[in-house]
């Protein structure tokens, strides 16, 4: 990845920070009307009870941190059921910020809406890059805050600088959590965000999140991209491969009656 000579959206400092740290926060990219539209759409999606089913591989689940009850927490993908969310994935400000990082156009690779409802346990330490044969090494995630995120509701925490060194865990095509002793945990930066704020982080940036210990959701739209020269548009191919991979993982636990809707 290279920083473009003339920047379209990022300031010089933001571009430098991204290159050095593997993440950057952009405040108030979206105004209050746009943030309200996201909030309204996320509310409507929460009520898509026709889709929320343990057999539907669009849905992800987490245990409640105290009761251990299995709780719906994410739609992956989301733009195919929400043109509104799709509009944010195509937004010029987002695409220009990505162009500044890549020095070339970005292609949407993956999209998910994490609701993080009250009690959801959060995510262990990991890098998003997973060594599937076509997974792009230029993977960058754009996180759009729908709700404010802080330490209480399990803000995402990133670990700066590690993105320069590639995969920490074996590149064997499996998802791996990173043992905590492989990272200097004191370097962690929690992404404390307000609605309309955006954070970008690299596919090799280790990150994690704590449980949501409040009584409200902490919703974030995660849009992930690749540089055009790194495989071109490949979202459909990604989801075809991902669904096959997920079905295999579920089958290992005896869960064979899955579907995608
Ligand atoms: O939203 C969160 O709490 C963290 C999500 C995350 O780490 C991921 O989707 O890779």
Domain spans of the chain? 12-252
pLDDT for the residue numbered 4: 47
User: Tokens at residue 144, please?
Assistant: 């759009």
∠ CA 188-99-125, rounded to 5°: 25
Give 245 Cα–ligand 1 centroid separation in angstroms: 19
Give 196 Cα–ligand 1 centroid separation in angstroms: 18
Does position 234 have pLDDT exceeding 90, yes or no?
Answer: yes
Does position 165 have pLDDT exceeding 50, yes or no?
Answer: yes
pLDDT for the residue numbered 91: 98
Atom 3 of ligand 1: nearest residue by CA position = 209
Residues in the chain: 261
Determine whether the shortest distance from the Cβ of 222 to ligand 1 is under 6 A.
Answer: yes
pLDDT for the residue numbered 80: 98
Give 5 Cα–ligand 1 centroid separation in angstroms: 32
∠ CA 113-67-258, rounded to 5°: 50
Determine whether the shortest distance from the Cβ of 62 to ligand 1 is under 6 A.
Answer: no
200, 101 Cβ separation under 8 angstroms: yes
What is the CB neighbour count within 10 angstroms for residue 198? 24
pLDDT for the residue numbered 255: 85
pTM assigned to the model: 0.96
Chain centre distance of CA 168: 19
Give 83 Cα–ligand 1 centroid separation in angstroms: 22
Q: Which is nearest to 114 in space by CA: 145, 70, 82, 157?
A: 145
Give the rounded percent of residues in the chain with a pLDDT score beyond 70.
Answer: 98
Atom 5 of ligand 1: nearest residue by CA position = 123
Residues 6+ apart with CB under 8 A from 138: 1, 102, 203, 225, 226, 227, 230
Ligand 1 atom nearest residue 114's Cα: 1
Per-residue model confidence as pLDDT tens digits over 35-93: 999 999 999 999 999 999 999 999 999 999 999 999 999 999 999 999 999 999 999 99
Q: Mean pLDDT over all residues of the chain?
A: 96
12-252 falls under which CATH superfamily? q2cbj1_9rhob like domain (2.60.120.620)
Atom 10 of ligand 1: nearest residue by CA position = 128
In whole angstroms, give the CA distance from residue 42 to residue 39. 5
């Amino acid at each position: 990845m290279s920083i473009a000579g003339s920047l379209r959206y990022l300031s010089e400092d933001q571009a430098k920070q991204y290159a050095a740290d593997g993440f950057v926060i952009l405040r108030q990219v979206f105004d209050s009307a746009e943030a309200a539209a996201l909030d309204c759409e996320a509310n409507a999606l929460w009520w898509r009870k026709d889709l929320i089913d343990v057999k539907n591989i669009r849905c992800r689940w987490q245990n409640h941190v105290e009761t251990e009850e299995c709780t719906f927490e994410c739609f992956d993908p989301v733009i195919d059921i929400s043109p509104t969310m799709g509009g944010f994935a195509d937004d010029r400000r987002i695409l220009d910020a990505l162009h500044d990082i890549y020095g070339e156009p970005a292609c949407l690779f993956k999209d998910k809406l994490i609701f993080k409802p009250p009690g959801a346990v959060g995510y262990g330490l990991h890098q998003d890059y997973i060594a599937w044969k076509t997974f792009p090494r230029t993977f960058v995630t754009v996180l759009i805050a729908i709700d404010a995120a802080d330490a209480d509701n399990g803000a995402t925490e990133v670990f700066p600088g590690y993105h320069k060194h590639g995969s920490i865990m074996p590149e064997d095509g499996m998802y791996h959590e990173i043992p905590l002793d492989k990272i200097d945990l004191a370097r962690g930066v929690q992404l404390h965000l307000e609605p309309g704020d955006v954070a970008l982080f690299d596919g090799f940036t280790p990150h994690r999140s704590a449980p949501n210990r409040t009584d409200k959701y902490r919703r974030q739209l995660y849009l992930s991209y690749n540089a055009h020269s790194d495989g071109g548009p490949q979202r459909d191919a990604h989801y075809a491969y991902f669904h096959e991979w997920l079905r295999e993982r579920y089958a290992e636990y005896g869960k064979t009656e899955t579907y995608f809707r």
